Amino acid sequence: MTAQLADMASRQSSGEKEFPMTNKDFKRIVSLASKYTGIVLGEHKRDMVYGRIARLVRKNRMQKFADYLDYLEANPDRELSEFINAITTNLTSFFRENHHFDVLEKQVFPELKRKNSDSKRLRIWSAGCSTGPEPYSIGITLKRSVFPSDWDVKLLATDLDSNVLAKAASGVYPSSEVDGLEDHLVKSYFSKNASGKEVKVKDSVRNLIYFKRLNLLEPWPMSGPFDIIFCRNVVIYFDKPTQKKLFDNYANMLAPGGYLFIGHSENLHGISDRFQNLGNTVYRKIS
């Protein structure tokens, strides 16, 4: 064991942190996270921040958080993407908040089949798609709803984190991630590898989805309009002024009467008056 590893092991066994992170370091990280991602990190996130940024300090063979932060600010072209990927949180699962997919299948898709019968066009956006279960769940619901083959149906999935986007685009997951799904869904829309330890989303669903990296705080290159936008458990990391701006932008991007789905811990009260609350964190654009 090298002297450095021995010293690290000694500090960890005594409960001492591997690298020092001062209050000044934490405030710098909070400021950088807000500047580049819009995420607001409270004091209760200190341990999470330590764990994630310590990996980058270690990876760059540095001794202190301050050294890493100096390096990051001096070399944003080299290191900023790594910092953003470390800070952003990615927690998702297939058919999470399942009531949303029931609303899609039983209410929204039948309505849009009638409403868009002339244009035969459907556009959906999963904003903050993480590793992909959300857009794939939307795609599976689309396939189950059997839109006619002559319709132009596209599903955009975006995220800030380039690493999770690469995983999402691959469509490959541990088999354990589909254990809770009904057998007929797994058989119809996933294929298992030879070992049975992994599943892959079938091309019939994957081909519906376009994965793109997007920072929600930067200009959006899409022209829209979208019929449906999913933005679930994303804005909880933003302050209220940023939330107001985002939901105003979502309203601008939605077609008249378009649908917005947000997370179970989120609401638009005091944030936007451009949506009608339909219940269960489903909203319809009214202006």
Q: Is 52 a catalytic residue?
A: yes
pLDDT tens-digit map of 119-166: 999 999 999 999 999 999 999 999 999 999 999 999 999 999 999 999
pTM: 0.84
Estimate to the nearest angstrom the gap between the alpha carbon of 281 and the chain centroid. 17
Q: Which of 25, 159, 161, 227 is catalytic?
A: 159
Task: Exactly one of 28, 46, 52, 96 is catalytic; name it.
Answer: 52
- What pLDDT is attached to residue 16? 62
Provide the sign of the torsion angle of the four alpha carbons 80, 83, 85, 90, taken in this order.
negative
> What is the length of the chain?
287
What's the CA gap between 243 and 263, in Å, rounded?
Answer: 13
Question: DSSP secondary structure string, 182-219?
Answer: -HHHHHHHEEE-TTSSEEEE-HHHHTTEEEEE--TTSP
Q: For the CA atoms of the chain, what is the radius of gyration?
A: 21
Looking at residue 17, its pLDDT comes to 76
Which residues have C-beta within 8 Å of that of residue 133, sequence separation ≥ 6? 92, 93, 94, 95, 96, 173, 177
The pLDDT, as a whole number, for residue 91 is: 67
106 CB burial (10 A radius; 0-12, 13-18, 19+) = exposed
Q: Per-residue confidence of the chain (287 residues) as pLDDT tens digits?
A: 444 444 444 344 334 678 999 999 999 999 999 888 878 888 888 999 999 999 999 999 999 999 999 999 999 999 998 999 898 877 688 999 999 999 999 999 999 999 999 999 999 999 999 999 999 999 999 999 999 999 999 999 999 999 999 999 999 999 999 988 999 999 999 999 988 899 999 999 999 999 999 999 999 999 889 999 999 988 888 889 999 999 999 999 999 999 999 998 789 999 999 999 999 999 999 98
Domains delineated in the chain:
3-87 (1.10.155.10), 99-285 (3.40.50.150)
C-alpha 114/C-alpha 117 separation (Å) is 5
Q: Has 46 been annotated as catalytic?
A: no
Task: Kindly compute the dihedral angle of the four CA atoms of residues 246, 93, 81, 214, in this order, to the nearest 10 degrees.
Answer: -40
Distance CA 179, CA 186 (A): 9
